[in-house]
Structure 1
Amino acid sequence: MGYAVVDVETTGFAARWSDRVVEVAVVQLDEAGRITGEWCTLVDPGRDLGPQHVHRIRAADVRHAPTFAEVAGALADRLAGRVVVAHNLAFDARFLSAEFARAGLDVEVDGLCTMRLAGGRRSLAACCAAAGIAPGTAHSALDDARATARLFATMLPVPAGVEPFPDLGPGPGVTEVAEVRRGVAAPTSPGHAPVALARGDLVVFTGQTLVPRDVWLDRAASAGLVGRGWVTKSTRVLVAADPFTLSGKARRARAYGVPIVPEDDFASMLDALRPAFEGASKP
């Protein structure tokens, strides 16, 4: 039968509402706990990526990634007939069940939780440290799945009676798709023609910028710009923490042809605008 150790990275915690899986990994083990295979892919969540400072996945990384529906069959095939294992299984299972449901596959994910088997609510890093296992890079789905697999192998044998993941057979999304992993070369910005700002231009911000948004709004106002919370056809630029962002504001900006610029470029635009604005402000 064997085991399938899974880990997911997500946009947040609301599995059955607005949040989505952005990376999923499976490490397959035989009944003795030996690794027999592994699989991992980034996933296009169809929305912004949430706490990018946690999972370190950029919007550019998922530009060509498959949707969950496109990998659902490939994932299900790798789980079929195996007991699913995860650290904090409740979290991973909740997201996988919700994503399978959206893909038209009615299945509730269940299995074994290494956090519970370890006897408490300890993090994967803490459990690995106690077992003398190198945890790898935290919040990387494949590294976390590998670490969980090594941790789980130290816990065998485990209680019997856990049902393996079902063989779902042909269904939506069963076509094998290309895996997209971290580290794929991607441009650092989408590229755009230089934007010349003028007094009264409307600017909008999206994402968690390095400089707090209220600071940017103050700087924009001091240069004669008008900050708005939404994108319209009159918006001059959308300033983004991640120019490849999949946020609703970014989608609207692309539809309207509004330039999306990183905050460094916006700072340069402000520097270019400020002298003209200050000159125009003098009596």
Structure 2
Amino acid sequence: MNGYTVVDFETTGFSHARGDRVVEIGVVTLDTEGNILDEWETLVNPMRHVGATHIHGICAKDVVGAPTFSEVADLFAADLTGNIFVAHNAAFDEAFARGELTACQRLNGSPIPVLDTMAIARRTLSLRSRKLADVCSALGIRNENAHSALSDARATALVLQTFIRRSAMDWHDIAAASRNFDGYTVHDTQHSRDHLRSRRDAAVTQETLSNGGWIDRAIGRRDIPDNWMTAQYFALLDAALLDSYLSTTEQTQLLAFAYDNGLSPAALSRLHAEYVQLVVRGAEADGIVTDAEHAMLRAVSTYLGVDLRQIPKAVDAAREPVRPRSMTISLKPGDRVSITGPVLRAQDSWASYFSARDVQVAGIAKATKVLIAGDPDSQSGKARKARQYGIPIIGESSVESVLSFD
């Protein structure tokens, strides 16, 4: 026996068999004496809605750029091989581990032998509740951030450590099934950790995005793009900033365009200044800049890292860039919209709202005019197809400001 691998998952729901997926993994490994050897964590892109954000605290934007389960499966399977799989309420975590590993061909589908710290607590502690929080409290263990996968895995590891050192259980007998289990397969024995993405990594990315500094991550050599490239980039900005919000997914799309076309940060800064200048001109065209337009200008300039006070100096007036489209979507009777993951209104409420305006609410098709999302970074099937078709995605709160009806 090599030791113990303590696992905790945060998931989109309660059943992998019914389509729920892992959104975060926390792993702590211990030796046979219960000494902690290593740990790692990562958010996981479930390629669907992230589920109960109010419980696990993970939003769709957090998992943008996070690896899928298959991309961390080798690292996970390697840590399990030869070790005892340990979890608190282990049946839950085992079911997700078995489902995810089997789906990406790192497990032969067999049930994984487990050691359940909840079951040990039931036998050894006189507690009314054996939830992790209650067991930790009884043992004097502090869980710094409950419902964060690594924090829960650390707490479970300390619970196990306490049981190992206090209990007279025959741990070698407990380990027998795990020691003989050979169901795992590791395809890549290198299994680098470079692609792991923690909650802290996600928070740093989002903070960088919020102040416009994200453009510095684009690298390249071309400083002056041609007019075609300007038009293409402005079209991306039109779609991305339609609701005056730049999601993490949209940021990734913009950076990919900049990288693929060799745009430097300096070139992007110039393009962004030109774009904001055009938006300013559009707002001033009727001689009145409303409060809503002021708010929109502040949001757009902030996301693009442009100081509105410097706009006249930042733009080369001798160059006439392509004018961006209007930052509104006009819907006509018979037009089609789609809804994904609503949170402000129920699906039926949105259907009634659009039906009253003779607009159809339906699934995603190439004719769909806009996708309205509870979270603009949603990884739902509708959201992925909308991005594939180039259909704008806006947040629910932006419906009245972005959509107009003929």
Classify the TM-score, shorter chain: 0.7 to 0.9
| Larger fraction in strand | 1
For the 8 Å contact 1:231–1:252, the answer to whether it is kept is yes
Could you list the runs of 5+ residues in structure 1 that have no partner in the other structure? Answer: 278-283
Deviation of the 1:174 alpha carbon: 4.3
Q: Cα deviation per residue 1:101-150 (whole Å; 9 max; x = unaligned)?
A: 11212253222111111118632112212222222222211011011111
Deviation of the 1:70 alpha carbon: 2.0
Q: Which residue of 1 aligns with 2:114?
A: 111
Instruction: For 1:269 and 1:54, locate their aligned partners in 2 and report how far apart those are by CA, in whole Å.
Output: 31
For the 8 Å contact 1:6–1:84, the answer to whether it is kept is yes
For the 8 Å contact 1:29–1:35, the answer to whether it is kept is yes
More divergent stretch after superposition (235-244 vs 172-181): 172-181
Q: Which residue of 2 aligns with 1:141?
A: 149
Instruction: For 1:225 and 1:57, locate their aligned partners in 2 and report how far apart those are by CA, in whole Å.
Output: 36
Instruction: Assess, with a 3 A threshold, how the Cα gap between structure 1 residues 175 and 102 changes in structure 2: closer, same or farther.
Output: farther
Bigger relative contact order, structure 1 or 2, given CA contacts below 8 A and separation 6+? 1
Q: Cα deviation per residue 1:52-89 (whole Å; 9 max; x = unaligned)?
A: 33222222222222222221111122223222210000
Q: Which residue of 2 aligns with 1:37?
A: 38
Instruction: For 2:183 and 2:28, locate their aligned partners in 1 and report how far apart those are by CA, in whole Å.
Output: 19
For the 8 Å contact 1:103–1:173, the answer to whether it is kept is no
Deviation of the 1:159 alpha carbon: 3.8
Instruction: For 2:379 and 2:386, locate their aligned partners in 1 and report how far apart those are by CA, in whole Å.
Output: 11
Instruction: For 1:229 and 1:124, locate their aligned partners in 2 and report how far apart those are by CA, in whole Å.
Output: 43
| Larger fraction in helix | 2
2:196 to 171, 179, 193: 179
Matched, 1:249 2:382: yes
Instruction: Assess, with a 3 A threshold, how the Cα gap between structure 1 residues 170 and 79 changes in structure 2: closer, same or farther.
Output: closer
**Matched AA of 2:161:** A
Instruction: Assess, with a 3 A threshold, how the Cα gap between structure 1 residues 175 and 208 changes in structure 2: closer, same or farther.
Output: farther
**Matched AA of 1:72:** A
Matched, 1:150 2:151: no
Q: Cα deviation per residue 1:193-229 (whole Å; 9 max; x = unaligned)?
A: 723233424222101423333333444445x252413
1:202 to 329, 336, 341: 336
For the 8 Å contact 1:42–1:66, the answer to whether it is kept is yes
Instruction: Assess, with a 3 A threshold, how the Cα gap between structure 1 residues 226 and 50 changes in structure 2: closer, same or farther.
Output: same
Q: Which residue of 2 aligns with 1:215?
A: 349
For the 8 Å contact 1:202–1:225, the answer to whether it is kept is no
Instruction: Assess, with a 3 A threshold, how the Cα gap between structure 1 residues 246 and 169 changes in structure 2: closer, same or farther.
Output: closer
Deviation of the 1:256 alpha carbon: 1.8
For the 8 Å contact 1:59–1:246, the answer to whether it is kept is yes
- Aligned residue for 1:134, secondary structure, equals coil
For the 8 Å contact 1:207–1:240, the answer to whether it is kept is yes
**Matched AA of 1:180:** R
Deviation of the 1:168 alpha carbon: 6.9
**Matched AA of 1:268:** S
More divergent stretch after superposition (248-257 vs 140-149): 248-257
Matched, 1:126 2:129: no
What do you get for the CA RMSD once the two structures are aligned?
2.6
Could you list the runs of 5+ residues in structure 2 that have no partner in the other structure? Answer: 124-128, 210-245, 252-324
Q: How does 1:1-283 map to 2 (within 5 A)?
A: 1-105=2-106, 106=108, 107-119=110-122, 122-156=130-164, 157=167, 158-160=169-171, 161=173, 162=175, 163-164=177-178, 166=181, 171-177=186-192, 178-183=195-200, 184=202, 185-186=205-206, 187=209, 189=247, 190-191=249-250, 194-200=327-333, 201-222=335-356, 224=357, 226-270=359-403, 273=404
Instruction: For 1:112 and 1:150, locate their aligned partners in 2 and report how far apart those are by CA, in whole Å.
Output: 14
Deviation of the 1:191 alpha carbon: 4.8
Q: Cα deviation per residue 1:17-72 (whole Å; 9 max; x = unaligned)?
A: 42222211111122332322101112222322222332222222222222222211
TM-score by length of 2: 0.61
Instruction: For 2:362 and 2:23, locate their aligned partners in 1 and report how far apart those are by CA, in whole Å.
Output: 26
Which protein has the larger Cα radius of gyration, Structure 1 or Structure 2?
Answer: 2
Instruction: For 2:4 and 2:351, locate their aligned partners in 1 and report how far apart those are by CA, in whole Å.
Output: 52
Instruction: Assess, with a 3 A threshold, how the Cα gap between structure 1 residues 110 and 169 changes in structure 2: closer, same or farther.
Output: closer
- Aligned residue for 1:232, secondary structure, equals coil
